[in-house]
Structure 1
């Protein structure tokens, strides 16, 4: 549901069998009065499995989670007032989630603590916190969450979280226990080569881990303005490839991705860089 008059939305919902809806995206900024007219319809979607809420009145919507016993995937994107209120969203869930994605939101340490203890996330297969700034937070609760989900977690996305070397190092022991992990992405974090090598060693025993998307290490930048030195990046990437081969994990796909400082597009590096036009000669 994107921006359109509530009258039009209600007309559509009247001709739809609501308990047959399994996937719903709500991308509207509604006033409370408008939202209140939508809530009864949401409460009748008893077979809903995937719900994406973007910049909405989450407090009111989350109360309807009690009426969604089959909800498996929850996506919260760009919710400006989520900080300090995550418990209000998740406490109404009455079934375990398989996917939880919180993107481009501010959250507090108390939110992380609640998340690590929430009964509905203990069986997560996919956890995404992309764009959630964690720089100033104690990530002990995130460690606990990763450990709690280590038997089921398959995909972990920590892109653009501002995670520093010391924070990332503290997460490594919990990551090493994620036996089902297949994909790990943590681009856009200021991580050094030493920590990347440590990650490689900690995850070497994860037989199902096949794709790792990592940031260009700090040593590959020419200056404080974020200009990549492609020669250095190539050397560092080759070093990681060499370590993978020596460990018998040459098939593991490690790709570096960092935003171009000029336009923001991703610069990827596997065996050769995939560059944005800013790096190409005129």
Structure 2
């Protein structure tokens, strides 16, 4: 069906354009992508996913098409790698991509996964966003402390309903922060950097879901997170990683008893704060099979933890 439509559009090039509400771009030559985009009314696209392993320069070339999708509401971009071009050229490609957000006045959901150029440049993108987001997901990326500061101060997060920061690695740690980093079970705790975004979270009055699995966090920071978010009346679900204190060894083996105790402590704090219905789930991959452990509200463990 689609191939027939594309063929007709190609035959009537310049006369017939396809309206396309959802557009998914997977691995294919850029020339083919450009050919297809010429047949599409780009201002009809409301949902765009770019699931390609692209170099930054390729994303920069595609960006000009992105800017024409003026009615875009949801954007997902994944697996963009820094190329070996000169620094000045890299910044030009980044600017060409981020500047397109100036045209996206209706953007509500933004998903960025495995984007190599975000570190130190998040502010450039945030400043180009023209309206507050409802969903922001930054996963498997490097961010600096300055990025977190800009994120916490950005007006684009004031109406967030969903925020995901799974697998985010923090870099450019200050000497002051290094002095307070903890080493628990052989894992470096990035509590100071995570704590930097808590004031921003407390202002996200529309937030309904918050997920930050994949980040090594201590119980003290989880308790601090609860204190900062307890006043968010619409926040109902928090998906958090098992605190570092619940691991048995450096291999990431979970101690179910410790995790159950810490989870019960959080639930007790919720009850005492008058928010017993706020659901907090713990999700962590088993180091042996990769399955996750959930609490709903009792632990749902993988078979590796079951007695033989």
TM-score (norm 2): 0.68
> How far apart are 1:72 and its partner, in Å?
2.8
Contact 2:216 2:241 survives alignment (8 Å): yes
Matched residues in 1 for 2:98 and 2:29: separation?
Answer: 22
CA contact (8 A) 2:284 2:293 kept: yes
Aligned pairs, number: 259
Query: What is the distance in 2 between the residues matched to 1:225 and 1:206?
Result: 36
The answer to whether structure 1 residue 227 and structure 2 residue 263 are counterparts is: no
Matches within 5 A, 1:13-52: 13-30=37-54, 38-52=62-76
Alpha-carbon distance in structure 2 between the residues aligned to 1:91 and 1:237: 38
Q: 1:206-239, CA deviations, whole angstroms, 9 ceiling, x for partnerless residues?
A: 4333222233233332233322221232233333
**Aligned partner of 1:128 among 143, 152, 164:** 164
Determine which of 120, 125, 139 is the counterpart of 1:89. Answer: 125
Deviations 1:44-99 (A, max 9, x none): 22211222222336443223333333233322221112222334434433344333
CA distance in 1 between partners of 2:139 and 2:104 (Å): 22
Per residue, is there more strand in 1 or in 2? Answer: 2
The structure whose Rg is larger is 2
Partner Cα separation in structure 2 for residue 45 and residue 60 of structure 1: 15
Q: 1: distance between equivalents of 2:198 and 2:122?
A: 25
Structure 1: state its 5+ residue gaps: 139-161
1:103-182 → structure 2 map (5 Å cutoff): 103-118=139-154, 120-134=156-170, 137=173, 164-165=190-191, 175-176=201-202, 178-182=204-208
Structure-2 residue corresponding to 1:150: none
Evaluate the alpha carbon distance shift between residue 6 and residue 269 of structure 1 in structure 2; reply closer, same or farther with a 3 A threshold: same
Asked if the contact 2:240–2:282 (Cα under 8 Å) also holds between the matched residues in 1, the reply is yes
Deviation (angstroms), 1:22? 0.7
Whole-Å separation in 2 of the counterparts to 1:27 and 1:86: 20
Tell me if the contact between 1:51 and 1:73 (Cα under 8 Å) persists in the aligned partners.
yes
Compute the displacement of 1:24 (Å): 1.0
Corresponding residue of 1:68? 104
Paired position in structure 1 for 2:299: 273
Distance 1:101 1:59, change over 3 A: farther
Normalising by the residue count of structure 1, what TM-score does the alignment of the two structures yield?
0.73
2:290 to 264, 271, 279: 264
1:178 shift after superposition: 4.4
Using a 3 Å threshold, how does the CA distance of structure 1 residues 236 and 280 change in structure 2: closer, same or farther? same
2:277 to 227, 234, 251: 251
